[in-house]
Structure 1
Amino acid sequence: MDRHFIQVLEDNPIVAAIKDEAGLEAALRTEVGIIFILHGNICSLPKLVERIKLSGRMAIVHVDLIDGLSNDDSVLDYIKNVAHADGIITTKLNLIQYGKKIGLYTIHRYFVLDSMALQNIIKQSHARVQPDAIEILPGVLQPKIIRYITKHSTVPVMCGGLVTVKEDVINSLRNGAIAVSTTRQDIWKM
């Protein structure tokens, strides 16, 4: 696990998740250390990453949400060597494994829908190839669920999705999450 990535999250536990150009502009006016790219396409991605990195922030690409990207390893070579992103978010374990191999920061995203999903998170967090962090959605889970995941996970836990008010952030962090991602611009300034 890369200590620099974790340090950036610890120093600024609010992550700006951008879903359009207006979101990027707003995120660049804040002090967030990491920006998740949740929009764009294979052609616009390099410019988005460049703007983020020129501002001194880390650019993390949500592979599953960028138009024109496939689910095979070559897409990560593109993200690293052409777009020059710092890392990826994905729900796909094969991309986490390859991303780690080529030196990208990796965040494995999970949707906590039921007890089977919860057990899968714990099982995967003990896998041989571990992501740098996991992100659980929705981020407004009950405190006992966040505590359970953070207690049993071998990697840092982030919360994201449906985080709409300051109390959501405080609840997640108080119960063990290292950071919270959100598209809510008012929360980025906390």
Structure 2
Amino acid sequence: MQKVSFNEIEELLIENPVVAAIRSEKDLENVLKSNVLIVFVLYGNIMNISDICKSLKDKGKIVFIHIDLIEGLKGDHIGVEFIKKYVDPMGILTTKPSNIKHAKAIGLYAIQRVFLVDSLSLATGIKNINDVKPNAVEVMPGIVGSIITDMVDRLKVPIIAGGLVSNKKDVMEALKSGALAISTTCKELWNI
């Protein structure tokens, strides 16, 4: 698949609401055989991340790398620039607001991953998102429908639900709650 514009990402998520999140070589093999279009890479190291992404892009997949999880890569501005220059994914995922800002500044689509464990993390997450202005937000866990609805009402960016999404019902509930898409490591859901 040729590179898509940032404006097209939201439309692609609407048309392809299940995002494959891969954590291993076995997941990579499975996703390459699947119909899923968008892939979150949650593993790898500085020696193999380029090859992982090339194999995905060669199969027409749109690739996002969770830079906080790449071994040997420091999650800072230089790490973001390394990913842009040597891997060239569509974008990144990160929990770090400074990496969101820098990724956007150098032309990467930036998805901020937010873990909601209590009301304080929700309030802090919403404040950080509104301050940093990522292109999208991945809310974890993705099976918190009422929280997703609340966040949709309070944010101006697309929400991707991720974490603990394990069946079609979870997918449908997250989408019904207002998530634009879901990310999952459950390969059985990649082709629904």
Q: Deviations over 1:72-102 (max 9, x none)?
A: 1011111111112111000000000000000
Residue 42 of structure 2 is matched in structure 1 by 38
2:73 aligned with 1:69: yes
Return the alpha-carbon distance in structure 2 between the equivalents of residues 12 and 172 of structure 1.
14
Is the 1:9–1:33 Cα contact (8 Å) retained in structure 2? no
What is the aligned counterpart of 1:132 among 124, 131, 135? 135
Return the alpha-carbon distance in structure 1 between the equivalents of residues 156 and 125 of structure 2.
10
Residue 114 of structure 1 is matched in structure 2 by 118
Structure 1 residue runs of 4+, over 4 Å off?
A: none
Q: CA RMSD in A?
A: 1.2
**Cα distance, 1:6 vs. partner?**
1.1
Residue 23 of structure 2 is matched in structure 1 by 19
Structure 2, unpaired ranges of 5+: none
Return the alpha-carbon distance in structure 1 between the equivalents of residues 106 and 35 of structure 2.
29
**Secondary structure of the structure 2 residue equivalent to 1:134:** strand
**Equivalent position amino acid for 1:135 in 2:** E
**What's the TM-score once normalised by structure 2's chain length?**
0.94
Return the alpha-carbon distance in structure 2 between the equivalents of residues 85 and 3 of structure 1.
16
**Cα distance, 1:121 vs. partner?**
2.2
Return the alpha-carbon distance in structure 2 between the equivalents of residues 144 and 126 of structure 1.
19
Residue 156 of structure 1 is matched in structure 2 by 158
Structure 1, unpaired ranges of 5+: none
Is the 1:125–1:154 Cα contact (8 Å) retained in structure 2? no
**What's the TM-score once normalised by structure 1's chain length?**
0.95
**Equivalent position amino acid for 1:132 in 2:** N
What is the aligned counterpart of 1:99 among 87, 90, 103? 103
Is the 1:37–1:59 Cα contact (8 Å) retained in structure 2? yes
What is the aligned counterpart of 1:9 among 10, 13, 20? 13
**Cα distance, 1:173 vs. partner?**
0.1
**Secondary structure of the structure 1 residue equivalent to 2:113:** strand
Is the 1:62–1:89 Cα contact (8 Å) retained in structure 2? yes
Return the alpha-carbon distance in structure 1 between the equivalents of residues 164 and 137 of structure 2.
17
What is the total number of aligned residue pairs between the two structures?
188
Return the alpha-carbon distance in structure 2 between the equivalents of residues 118 and 54 of structure 1.
38
Is the 1:109–1:137 Cα contact (8 Å) retained in structure 2? yes
